[in-house]
Chains A and B, each alone.
Chain A
Amino acid sequence: MAKISSRFLREGRQLPPELEDARLEIKQICEEYGLDFFETVFEMCTYEEINMIAAYGGFPTRYPHWRFGMEFLEMQKSYEYGLSKIYEMVINTDPSYAYLMDCNLVVDQKLVMAHVFGHVDFFKNNHWFKPTNRKMLDQMANHATRVRDIIDREGASTVEQFVDMCLSLDNLIDPYLPHIQRTRKATEEPEDDGSVGRLPSERHYMDRHINPPEFLAAQREKKASQAEKAARYPEEPVRDVLGFLLQHARLAKWQRQILQIIRDEAYYFAPQGQTKIMNEGWATYWHTKLMTKHILTDSEVIDYADHHSGTVAQRPGQLNPYKLGVELYRHIERRWDRGQFGKDWLDCTDPRERKAWDTGAMLGRDKLFEVRRTHNDITFLDTFLTPEFCREQGFFTTKFDKKADEWVVDSREFADVKKQLLQMLASRGTPRIYVYDANFANRGELLLTHEHEGLDIQLDWASVTLANLAALWGRPVHLETLLEGKPIRMSHDGSEVTREEVR
């Protein structure tokens, strides 16, 4: 790693002395609070460099692809027009690298450093980041080299086309896969004797009570569905579509390598999507604590207040992960400090009593560290969202009013808000898609199913995605989903998309 850090810390990249002093101070305070982070290397970058690094997802070396160029151009434009700028950029590696923009105020740099230590602590300790590769910097560079080699052999446009196809499928992964061993159940099926699963009945007059007709019908159905299942491959639906393709699609060696690379990177970035609210909330919690209690000088207060409020600002009707995260952490801290947990608390229904509840437990800080270690966004909100918190924060759900052609407030009920929030987090805009049958219609065609949760898939994009999938699979592919409540099957046979209603 020493080699990389020296390559990184080129002349002019290291922190100027005043910031280096600030870094040491902030680091020490963080450690005193019990934050536990990887070694963190800060680098000074121009806005152009930071946009470049951001376009590459924080990694200075990625495989060649036009979308990085596009993202760079977009960031560059929006910075130049003054629409947005990147304050901070940090990557989940060991040691961790963070980039500071050289034109920021000193107070901003301090804020960013405190924020970054929060992130790195989260990367290191949160359970959902455990399976990620902490040497990803090297891995990404290796990926880049491998893809370049492949490009030299196969030609740039061939490879680019293939990469585009893989990228269009790169959200079809199973984010829980690294945490669960999904071994196939070793079911020992009894020999099929042709009967329909009657229960043993020694006395024939008891038989119609032990095996009534309804029971037999149910057994027959069960049997039939088992038989159907055994005829299918995979037996259980597979959510890791990319992994399934990797194992079973007819691909050339170089194609397999590229697919593997894209899958690896998708899995590497997945936990960041799973913990957005927690991660940003945690970093914000710590930068506020550090800045307001320890670091700020009198002259910096105004700028700090300005920029901090920019980070946690709530645009009307939008949800800001920084804001939601930090508020929920504070809510938890307050509850556990005052002992508002456990059976007694849950049993208490008197609002006045609940409001005044304080056992002086002072367990808030410990609880926070425990929460950041074990939860992801979904469990975080599922566990700690309370009606009190919802009321305090003024949450509501929205729906689209077709008549008025605008979004309107739907409900302020706690149950509705929580359900909607969790649903949003569970999907993150990505539908759950499973490989259902790889030998559909006994013709080696691939059937995917969509676990419909009330939202339809965007059809035009789905068509193109299916085309890509068909190209990868090499045989026709199908996707079963609901469209306005009706079950449909979209199919792509390699040349065109068709859509039919099922049953």
Chain B
Amino acid sequence: MLNIDRDLGRFRDIVRGRVRRDLRRYMSSGELIGRKGKETVSIPLPQIGIPRLRYGKNQGGVGQGEGEGDQPGQGPRAGDASGEHMLEVELTVDELAEILGEELELPRIEPKGNRQTKTTKTTYKGIAQQGPESLRHFKRTYRRALQRTIASGGFHPGRPIVPIKDDKRYRTFEVETEPRSAAVVVYMMDVSGSMGNEQKEIVRSEAFWIDAWLKHNYDDVETRFIIHDASAREVDRETFFRTRESGGTLISSAYKLALEILQKDYPPADWNIYPFHFSDGDNWSQSDTKTCIKLLRDELVPMSNQFSYAQVDSQYGSGQFIKDLEGAFPEDEQVVLSRVPNREGIMNSIRELLGKGN
């Protein structure tokens, strides 16, 4: 192999930078929803060119042949046509999630239970004899050089100690797995009729990216999925991201089901619990909203590390629910609320829900 790998790697880094810059656009497109971690996604990028002084496109040319027929629209341009291609970059959903998630975390996670989730981190605590100059460990290098100079009898006070290649020591990193506590995430999604296709797609996108990010960063996080309209039912991951239903809205039905699941399978003593609820906030009745708030205040919120509610703006619904929640939990740190005005708001909303320092 020639050394193209290095250049290729560097190029991929640059591409990742581009993707990061345009991440909002990819995130708000619904196409990726439902894919899994290792599946690759082809992302078209405009070719990354080196800008040069060159002519614009208003150039005539010379052609050969009939000049009529199939492709009269094809005109030649002099010079080199590069810079016009599209570049197709393949990234896995995992990689996208990683790019997305550098500033996110599961808030207030605590050591609980014996089933442990793990997270990895890299620390610079090793020492190696090879490495980049930028990581040279000055003290160690100096010590080696000093030892050698003394051992070889060349040491005179006042004369400088000159390290040779063998003396050099470099910092190097180690990957550590940190034990993390067991955690369960319950996704609840409103699929009622008051949500238009656009709204459904937005909440689905948001749930998908949260899920993709969690899957990537926390091994063994358990996930449960609930969809609800006037009644709630538990579904598997596939159904959750693909289903289209409609009906009335009784939010309490979802909370009741979530509570049931949690109480049955995930005792709060052993589990960090993170319910996420996505809706347009158009509940059927105020009395149901009262039931919801009661459920939250008495049961769901106390047992959870954080209860997250994201509400998408809808042209039909009243959007009242988030206001009711604001009224009910004005100071509560464990309840995080977020509004998603449109597709572009997804990224901000995720930051609000999972951002560090919440």
A-side residues, CB < 8 A to B, are 49, 52-53, 55-56, 60-61, 64-70, 72-74, 77, 152-153, 155, 160, 164, 167-172, 314-320, 323-324, 393-400, 406-410, 417, 420-421, 423-425, 427-431, 433, 450, 455-462, 464-465, 468, 479
Contact, CB under 8 Å: B4 / A319: no
In whole angstroms, how far apart are the Cα atoms of A349 and B177 in the complex?
89
B-side residues, CB < 8 A to A, are 2-4, 6-14, 47-48, 50-80, 85, 87-88, 132-134
Contact, CB under 8 Å: A319 / B66: no
In whole angstroms, how far apart are the Cα atoms of A30 and B65 in the complex?
33
Residue of A nearest to B49 (CB): A461
Which residues in B have their C-beta under 8 angstroms from that of A417? Answer: 62
- Offer 18 A-B interface pairs, CB within 8 angstroms, sorted by A: A70-B47, A152-B133, A155-B134, A160-B10, A168-B51, A316-B71, A317-B63, A317-B72, A319-B64, A394-B66, A407-B72, A420-B61, A424-B61, A424-B78, A424-B79, A427-B55, A431-B53, A462-B53
Contact, CB under 8 Å: A72 / B4: yes
Which residues in A have their C-beta under 8 angstroms from that of B77? Answer: 429
Contact, CB under 8 Å: B7 / A65: yes
Contact, CB under 8 Å: A319 / B63: yes
**Are A316 and B53 also in contact (CB < 8 A) when A407-B75, A409-B63 are?**
no
In whole angstroms, how far apart are the Cα atoms of A77 and B8 in the complex?
13
- In whole Å, how far is A85's beta carbon from the nearest beta carbon of chain B? 17
Contact, CB under 8 Å: B58 / A400: yes
**Are A64 and B65 also in contact (CB < 8 A) when A171-B52, A456-B55 are?**
no
**Are A66 and B10 also in contact (CB < 8 A) when A458-B55, A461-B51, A464-B51 are?**
yes
Contact, CB under 8 Å: A172 / B53: yes
- In whole Å, how far is A221's beta carbon from the nearest beta carbon of chain B? 32
- In whole Å, how far is A319's beta carbon from the nearest beta carbon of chain B? 6
In whole angstroms, how far apart are the Cα atoms of A317 and B72 in the complex?
7
Which residues in A have their C-beta under 8 angstroms from that of B69? Answer: 316
Contact, CB under 8 Å: A455 / B58: yes
- In whole Å, how far is A4's beta carbon from the nearest beta carbon of chain B? 14
- In whole Å, how far is A242's beta carbon from the nearest beta carbon of chain B? 12
From DSSP, what is the main secondary structure of chain B's interface residues?
loop
In whole angstroms, how far apart are the Cα atoms of A169 and B53 in the complex?
8
The 8 Å CB contact of A396, one of B8, B52, B63, is B63
**Are A69 and B7 also in contact (CB < 8 A) when A171-B52, A317-B71, A427-B55 are?**
yes
Residue of A nearest to B77 (CB): A429
The 8 Å CB contact of B10, one of A69, A316, A319, A460, is A69
Contact, CB under 8 Å: A64 / B80: no
The 8 Å CB contact of B4, one of A69, A425, A430, is A69
In whole angstroms, how far apart are the Cα atoms of A396 and B61 in the complex?
9
In whole angstroms, how far apart are the Cα atoms of A409 and B65 in the complex?
11
Contact, CB under 8 Å: B65 / A316: yes
In whole angstroms, how far apart are the Cα atoms of A396 and B77 in the complex?
13
The 8 Å CB contact of B60, one of A74, A152, A398, A458, is A398
Contact, CB under 8 Å: B65 / A73: no
In whole angstroms, how far apart are the Cα atoms of A170 and B137 in the complex?
39
6 more A-B residue pairs beyond the given contacts A64-B7, A433-B53, with a C-beta to C-beta distance below 8 A = A53-B2, A73-B8, A73-B11, A316-B71, A410-B60, A424-B61
Contact, CB under 8 Å: A66 / B14: yes
**Are A49 and B66 also in contact (CB < 8 A) when A171-B53, A406-B73, A461-B51 are?**
no
In whole angstroms, how far apart are the Cα atoms of A152 and B135 in the complex?
11
Residue of B nearest to A457 (CB): B53
Contact, CB under 8 Å: A168 / B52: yes
Which residues in A have their C-beta under 8 angstroms from that of B54? Answer: 171, 429-431, 457-458, 461
Contact, CB under 8 Å: B4 / A56: yes
**Are A457 and B61 also in contact (CB < 8 A) when A72-B4, A72-B8, A317-B75 are?**
no
Which residues in A have their C-beta under 8 angstroms from that of B63? Answer: 316-319, 395-398, 409
Which residues in A have their C-beta under 8 angstroms from that of B80? Answer: 428-429
Which residues in A have their C-beta under 8 angstroms from that of B133? Answer: 152-153
**Are A393 and B64 also in contact (CB < 8 A) when A168-B50, A458-B55 are?**
yes
The 8 Å CB contact of B65, one of A152, A160, A317, A461, is A317
Which residues in B have their C-beta under 8 angstroms from that of A459? Answer: 56
- In whole Å, how far is A435's beta carbon from the nearest beta carbon of chain B? 13
Residue of B nearest to A459 (CB): B56
The 8 Å CB contact of B9, one of A49, A69, A315, A424, is A69
Which residues in A have their C-beta under 8 angstroms from that of B60? Answer: 397-400, 410, 420
The 8 Å CB contact of B11, one of A66, A318, A408, is A66
Contact, CB under 8 Å: A72 / B7: yes
Question: Which of A170, A316, A455 counts the most B-chain CB atoms under 10 A from its CB?
Answer: A316
Which residues in B have their C-beta under 8 angstroms from that of A450? Answer: 53
Which residues in B have their C-beta under 8 angstroms from that of A394? Answer: 64-67
Which residues in B have their C-beta under 8 angstroms from that of A430? Answer: 52-55, 79
Residue of B nearest to A163 (CB): B50
Contact, CB under 8 Å: B62 / A461: no
Closest 10 CB pairs of A and B: A429-B79, A407-B75, A69-B11, A69-B7, A424-B78, A69-B8, A464-B51, A317-B63, A458-B56, A66-B11
Residue of A nearest to B60 (CB): A399
Which residues in A have their C-beta under 8 angstroms from that of B50? Answer: 67, 164, 167-168
Residue of A nearest to B55 (CB): A455
Contact, CB under 8 Å: A421 / B7: no
Which residues in B have their C-beta under 8 angstroms from that of A61? Answer: 2-3
Contact, CB under 8 Å: B74 / A316: yes
In whole angstroms, how far apart are the Cα atoms of A316 and B64 in the complex?
7
The 8 Å CB contact of B55, one of A66, A408, A457, is A457
Which residues in A have their C-beta under 8 angstroms from that of B68? Answer: 409
Which residues in B have their C-beta under 8 angstroms from that of A314? Answer: 64-65
In whole angstroms, how far apart are the Cα atoms of A421 and B52 in the complex?
23
Which residues in A have their C-beta under 8 angstroms from that of B67? Answer: 317, 394, 396, 398, 409
Which residues in A have their C-beta under 8 angstroms from that of B75? Answer: 317, 398, 400, 406-407
Which residues in A have their C-beta under 8 angstroms from that of B78? Answer: 423-425, 427-429
The 8 Å CB contact of B74, one of A317, A431, A468, is A317
Contact, CB under 8 Å: B56 / A397: no
- In whole Å, how far is B12's beta carbon from the nearest beta carbon of chain A? 7
Residue of B nearest to A327 (CB): B64
